[in-house]
Amino acid sequence: MSEQAKFLEGNLFRHISVMSLTASVGLMAIFFVDFVDMIFISMLGKAELAAAVGYAGAILFFTSSFGIGMSIAGGALVARALGEGDEDKARRLTTNALLYGVIFGGIFAAVVWNFLEPLTALIGATGATQDLAVLYLSIIIPSLPLLMIGMMGGAILRAYGDARRAMMATIWGGLANAVLDPILIFGFDLELTGAALASVAARVTIAAVALLPIIKHHGGIDRPTPAHAMKDLIPVLAIAVPAILTQLATPIGQAYVTRAMAEFGELAVAGMAVVSRLTPLSFAVIFALSGALGPIIGQNFGARQHGRVKQAFNDGLLFIAIYVVFAATVLFFLRGPIIALFQAEGIGLELILLFCGPLALAFFFNGVIFVANSAFNNLGHPFYSTWINWGRHTLGTIPFVIGGGYLFGAPGILIGQAVGGVVFAAIAWGLARKVIAREAAVEDLPADEHFKRQSRLLNLFNFRR
């Protein structure tokens, strides 16, 4: 057993709690800075700036989802190699996963940057608001390769069980952003441009702080070679392609919601932008769980400990239930100060009240989908995650949003979006249980052979170790 494989023994609920809570501290640092960005921009007293950030947020969510997909691939492959006890393989996969992250991230950023105007128009931005959103995005988008290094570095650190250093990378990034935001927005009077430049500086910081511990404490990084890069291309793509497709479903669904909300005016979009900032800040622990659970499942799957895989899945659901009730209660009691902080009024105030009320409890069902997707990605069924997420953000979003908007106006859009999540959470839960049971039934196969047998993409390329 590799000394780096820390999750093969011990209490699984404790592992999940420690990994999720420590990872969430780092995520909260980033989400809190986004939240503070929104406060600063609201203080400028220009509705079009807040709306521009709302539209830009949908595009940034789209690009960040690409990075999440690549980080899922890197983390899953490294965790499984560690579970197998092969630290040389883990180091090689770390090197090549990061290499491909930078290459693919640069290509993706170039494509998005060249289509910023049609993309912002597609989600409903017009006039001066669209111009501001494009300006903001044109500064941030080129830094996507840096974000890829930071996100993938954090996932690899978590694969080694080093949640603390993964957390510190995002904390330092958040601090850099928090310090630079008021200086650039107010001190240099750069407004939206200042917020964008501060975000770029944060990405530089996260990349550097995530990469250094891998080099110093976890086997380092090999010198890339064409032979090793080609050897690892297919296993990286086998998880990354469906994981990226899975992650892209969320911002596309959110973009549709943003466009639907735009029909109710800039105050509605600005109110939804506040909700969009509150959601990850309030539920950072759940977002962190989706990344923290992967290495736990991956290491135990690599070691063929299927009983612990099933227990990790169940403990993940229990952890979600406990946390969502806690977070929803806190939001309910803070709804007054939140409304005052953003000087919300009209329809924007209604949306914030709705989110800080019963709607927050519905995030449990998003958490179920996160846990199920983590199981699919680490058990050799990444395309299951793709179908679940696309179903949730198309069939589970569009008709429900249309119906909710028709019946209840702008609040109905958020209600419809939440109701659709309930349906697909039930589907994801049932499918994940079947996958876990199926894996346990064929434990006579080596884990790597099992992964090759189940992954359609690996079969397509006829991959062999």
On whether the CB atoms of residues 294 and 72 are closer than 8 A, the answer is yes
The answer, as to whether pTM is greater than 0.75, is no
Q: How confident is the model at residue 32 (pLDDT cuts 50, 70, 90)?
A: low
pLDDT band at 44 (very low <50, low <70, confident <90, very high): confident
**pLDDT (0 to 100) of residue 412:** 92
pLDDT value of position 458: 42
Residue 427 pLDDT = 94
Q: pLDDT-derived band of residue 464, with 50, 70 and 90 as boundaries? A: very low
Least Cα distance to 425 among 359, 367, 361, 355 occurs for 367
Over residues 432-438, the mean pLDDT reads 88
Model confidence at 403, pLDDT cuts 50, 70, 90, reads: very high
Angle between helices 226-262 and 87-114 (to 10 degrees): 40
Q: Residue 465: pLDDT above 70? A: no
pLDDT for res 5: 59
Taking the mean position of all CA atoms in its chain, how far away is CA 87? 27
Average pLDDT of 299-319?
Answer: 83
pLDDT digit string, tens, across residues 321-345: 999 999 999 999 988 888 888 777 7
End-to-end CA distance of the chain: 20
Low-confidence winner among 25-34, 112-121, 234-243 (lowest mean pLDDT): 25-34
Query: Virtual CA dihedral for 128, 133, 137, 138, nearest 10 degrees?
Result: -10
Higher pLDDT, residue 75 or 305? 75
Q: Could you tell me the two tokens for 338?
A: 């939140």
Average pLDDT over residues 94-118: 92
Average pLDDT, stretch 418-423? 92
pLDDT average, residue stretch 52-64? 79
- What confidence category does residue 445 fall into, taking pLDDT thresholds of 50, 70 and 90? low
pLDDT at 460: 38
pLDDT at 149: 92
* d(C-alpha 343, C-alpha 320), whole Å: 32
Give the pLDDT band of residue 26 (cuts 50, 70, 90): low
Q: How large is the average pLDDT for residues 258-268?
A: 85
Q: Report whether pLDDT(258) > 70.
A: yes
State residue 7's pLDDT score. 73
pLDDT of residue 320: 92
Of 47 and 122, the structure prediction assigns the larger pLDDT to 122
Average pLDDT for 182-190: 88
pLDDT band of 444, cuts 50, 70, 90:
low
pLDDT at position 443 is: 58
pLDDT at residue 387 greater than cutoff 60: yes
**Structure-model confidence comparison of residues 42 and 199, the more confident one:** 199
Query: Are residues 302 and 80 in contact, defined by beta-carbon separation less than 8 angstroms?
Result: yes
pLDDT tens profile 89-102? 888 989 999 999 99
CA distances from 340 to 34, 280, 305, 348 (A): 18, 20, 51, 12
Count CB neighbours of 92 within 10 A: 23
What does pLDDT average to over the chain?
Answer: 83
Cβ neighbour number for residue 362 with a 10 Å cutoff: 19
**pLDDT at residue 361 tops 80:** yes
Highest mean pLDDT among 54-68, 104-118, 120-134, 334-348: 104-118
How high is the pLDDT of residue 30? 62
pLDDT at 190 over 80: yes
What mean pLDDT comes out for the span 244-265? 82
| Percent share of the chain, pLDDT over 70 | 89
How high is the pLDDT of residue 308?
84
Note the pLDDT tens digit of each residue in 141-174: 999 999 899 989 988 998 888 878 888 888 888 8
Q: Specify whether the CB–CB gap between 79 and 87 falls below 8 A.
A: no
Once rounded to an integer, what is the mean pLDDT over residues 108-125? 90
